[in-house]
Every structure is written in C-alpha cells, then in structure tokens.
Amino acid sequence: MCPNCRAFITAADRTCPYCGNQVGPRAIDLRSPANFLGGLIPPSYFTAVLILLINLALFVATCWLSGSFMGDVNARALWALGAKLGYSVFVQHEYWRLVTAGFLHGSLLHIAFNSWALYVLCPQVEEFYGTSRLIVVYFVATVCGFYLSARMNPGISIGASAGIMGLIGAMVAFGAVNQSSLGRAIRNNYLGLLGINLALGFMRGSNVDNWAHIGGFAGGFAVAYIAGTPIRSSQTKEAIWRLAAAASLMLTAYCFWLMYRNFPTPEELRELLQSGGVG
C-alpha cells in the first residue's frame, strides 16, 4: 500500500503508479534472517515459520508421549502439555493453558491444515499491520478464543485455529475501516472464509471447537480495529505496539514455563497416560 495516497500497489513497486510517490521497502523486507537457518526463510514468512516450528516441536513431543506418530494422539498427553480444559482453567486456575493450547495439535491432518493456514495468512496480516501488531493480534486472539471455549465448551480443546481466526478478524477489520472498493473486497473475502470455517464447525459430527473460532475472530478483529495500520502512524504509537508485542512474547514464554513447572513427574505421567481421564 502506498503510504501517501493509500492505493494498493505491488511489493515490487518503488514508485506509486497512482501518485508518483517514492516507496521504500516494506518493514518486513528490511529484516535480514541471514543468521537463521542460513537465510533459507523468506523475510515475509519469517514470523509464520517461527510459529510453525514451535507447533511442530510440540506435536512431536505430543506424539512421543502418546507412543505413536500415526493417527490421533492421546488426549491425556495433550493435557499434560497444556491443552485447554475448563476444569483446569477455572477450578485449578491454570490460566496459562489459554496460551499453550494454541500451539498444540491432535493429529497429522490437524497440524497440516493449520500450518497451511498460518503460512498463507501470517504474511498477509504482517504486510498490512507490521510484525508488532501481528504478534499482539495472534496472542490476544488465542487467549480470547480459548477463554470463550473454556466457558462454553469445557472439554479438551487445542489448536492454532483460534489465532488463525484472529488473523482473519484482523483482515476483516482492515476492510471495515478502509472503505475503498479493494477494502470492501478484502472484508468480504475474509468474511467468506469465516463463514466457511464456522459452517464446517457446525456440521453434525464435527470435532471443531467453534467457540474458540468465534472468540479468536472477535479478539483479532478488536485488536486490529483499535490498532490500525502503521501507515502515517506516530513514533510514539509504534513504540507502544512494540512494547505490547514484547509483552505478548514474554507472557507466552511465561505460560510455557508454567506448563513446564506443572508438568507431571515421570510416575504421575505414567499413571496419567494409563488412566481413563484428565483433570
């Protein structure tokens, strides 16, 4: 997007074809991931790939605890690694599960689908909102999604889809604020994705947690609507969003530390995995 006339231009344009304004490189293209994996990660996909690597590492850990890398994993292994369970959240006050649950997955198909969605959506949201806002959107959407899920659906629930729905919410918020024809097209396109996801979740026999989807969408929409895009933003406002992103990352790390601190002992874990329930 041109910072002067706000027209949509391509990432390769260095001069806006509409107003003639000189356009510099995007913020996400100024980062140099050359020190990470030999520069194999494209700059615009850097944040997405980091999230995917965390998800993959936890999925491998879940499969190892479950004793199988094929098919569905053990729900009790998911609980031990931080899955959302209403009783654990509201009775045992393990609120950190509202964050850790967003990085866990229950099957190869589950993580494959969510990985594809993250790989597609993260760069799009980051291009519009920048890295700081993307991080805050994803964090808030995950927490809001699993909080609503814990209230309305107290059973075991996991997955990156709450955060993914927050990314969809952010794009809908952009279209709601930007009243151009392209803005409306973006809004309608992502509302269509929202509708498809919710419809699949309401299908009979579906194992989709629509409450997490609804909460995630609402959280992502709210943050993005308030935040706006970095275009014509002040240095003070950008500093605030960088601090908010840093706080989100620190809270995420703290939640995983709490998961580690509350992880069952080997004896407790053996008994848990052989038992018939969790909590």
Instruction: Pick from 14-23, 57-66, 142-151, 199-208 the range whose average pLDDT is largest.
Output: 142-151
Query: Facing residues of 15 across strands?
Result: 22
Q: How far apart are CA 61 and CA 69, in angstroms?
A: 10
Is the separation of the CB atoms in 27 and 130 below 8 Å? yes
Say yes or no to pLDDT of 278 above 80.
Answer: no
Tokens coding 169: 């919410």
Give the pLDDT score at 277. 56
Only one residue has tokens 């848990």, namely: 272
pLDDT computed for residue 35 by the predictor: 47
Class at the top of the CATH hierarchy for domain 31-274: mainly alpha
The tokens describing 164, both together, are: 């993914």
- For the chain, the three-class secondary structure string (H helix, E strand, C coil) is CCCCCCCCCCCCCCECCCCCCECCCCHHHHCCHHHCHHHCCCHHHHHHHHHHHHHHHHHHHHHHHHCCCCCCCCHHHHHHCCCECHHHHHCCCCCCHHHHHHHCCCCHHHHHHHHHHHHHHHHHHHHHHHHHHHHHHHHHHHHHHHHHHHHHCCCCECCCHHHHHHHHHHHHHHHHHCCCHHHHHHHHHHHHHHHHHHHHHHCCCCCCCHHHHHHHHHHHHHHHHHHCCCCCCCHHHHHHHHHHHHHHHHHHHHHHHHHHHCCCCHHHHHHHHHCCCCC
Residue for token pair 């964050």: 99
Let me know the angle formed at the C-alpha of 256 by 251 and 262, rounded to the nearest 5 degrees.
125
Q: Extract the tokens encoding 258.
A: 């709490």
What spatial distance separates the first Cα and last Cα of the chain, rounded to whole Å? Answer: 49
Mean local confidence (pLDDT), 101-116: 94
Give residue-wise pLDDT tens across range 219-238: 999 999 999 888 878 889 99
180-218 pLDDT per residue, tens: 777 788 888 888 888 888 887 777 767 788 999 999 999
Active-site residues, by number, are 161, 213
Domain segments of the chain as ranges: 31-274
Nearest in space to 279 (alpha carbons), one of 48, 89, 113: 89
Task: Please say whether the beta carbons of 146 and 247 come within 8 A.
Answer: no
Average pLDDT of the segment spanning 257-275: 89
